[in-house]
Amino acid sequence: MTNRRALALPLSTLFALMVWFNQALAADLVLHEALTQVYFSPRGGAQDALVAEIGKARESIFVQAYSFTSEPIISALIQAHQRGVHVEVILDKSQRADKRSGTAAVREAGIHAVIDSKHAIAHNKTMVIDHETVVTGSFNITKSAEEKNAENLLIVRSQDLARLYLEDWKKHRQHTDWQ
Ligand SMILES: [Zn+2]
């Protein structure tokens, strides 16, 4: 069940209530002067843009991913963790058995990476960086997403949007586990 309404309440209050009642989040946002980058695959620069964005992170990166096999992106996340950025990853259950998955690599590096098995597929591909940048779109964290597939990637700088995506991330985080 979704609950769609305008932003009459402060966003944080609205999101907290929706999480409390376990409803899917929805909101109408007007993004004022939100610097946005868009990329289309294949070979449209999405992967490089994402690696660069991760490289600029100063505080935190909260990831939701379906596939998780792109070495440049996984390496960028590990490097961010190693320079002190708080990195947390939620992955689809398919990543338990996928031998190409970077799940083990990020865990060995000390990143908190957990599995969301509550859904048919945990199909989100999102990152919230430093509470102000949202990365979303169809673009999976895979080599194919950059080199072969028809995909899109949006990088949006908006604290309001980041708050919404982070609330959704937290909602999923509540029902994740390590296996
Ligand atoms: Zn979930």
The predicted pLDDT at position 33 comes to 87
Distance (angstroms) between ligand 1 centre and the Cα of 36 equals 27
Dihedral sign for Cα 22, 23, 29, 34, please.
positive
Distance (angstroms) between ligand 1 centre and the Cα of 116 equals 5
Q: Among this protein's residues, is 123 annotated catalytic?
A: yes
Q: How confident is the model at residue 57 (pLDDT cuts 50, 70, 90)?
A: very high
Distance (angstroms) between ligand 1 centre and the Cα of 176 equals 7
The predicted pLDDT at position 16 comes to 67
The predicted pLDDT at position 178 comes to 87
- Of 98 and 51, the one with more pLDDT: 51
Best CA proximity match to 103, nearest among 83, 122, 120:
122
The predicted pLDDT at position 2 comes to 46
Its CATH architecture, for the domain 33-173, is 2-Layer Sandwich (3.30)
Residue pair 19/4 in contact by the 8 Å Cβ criterion? no
The predicted pLDDT at position 20 comes to 65
Distance (angstroms) between ligand 1 centre and the Cα of 61 equals 18
**Which entry of 56, 123, 170, 175 is annotated as an active-site residue?**
123
What is the per-residue pLDDT across 112-122, written as a single tens digit (0 to 9) for each? 999 999 999 99
The predicted pLDDT at position 9 comes to 58
| Domain parsing of the chain, residue ranges | 1-30, 33-173
Distance (angstroms) between ligand 1 centre and the Cα of 107 equals 20
Give the pTM. 0.87
What is the per-residue pLDDT across 5-49, written as a single tens digit (0 to 9) for each? 544 556 667 666 666 666 777 888 888 889 999 999 999 999 999
The predicted pLDDT at position 116 comes to 97
What is the per-residue pLDDT across 59-108, written as a single tens digit (0 to 9) for each? 999 999 999 999 999 999 999 999 999 999 999 999 988 888 999 999 99
Q: Among this protein's residues, is 130 annotated catalytic?
A: yes
How far apart (Å, rounded) are the C-alpha atoms in residues 110 and 122? 23
**Which entry of 86, 98, 112, 130 is annotated as an active-site residue?**
130
Q: Spell out the residues 6+ positions from residue 100 whose beta carbon is closer than 8 angstroms to its own.
A: 69
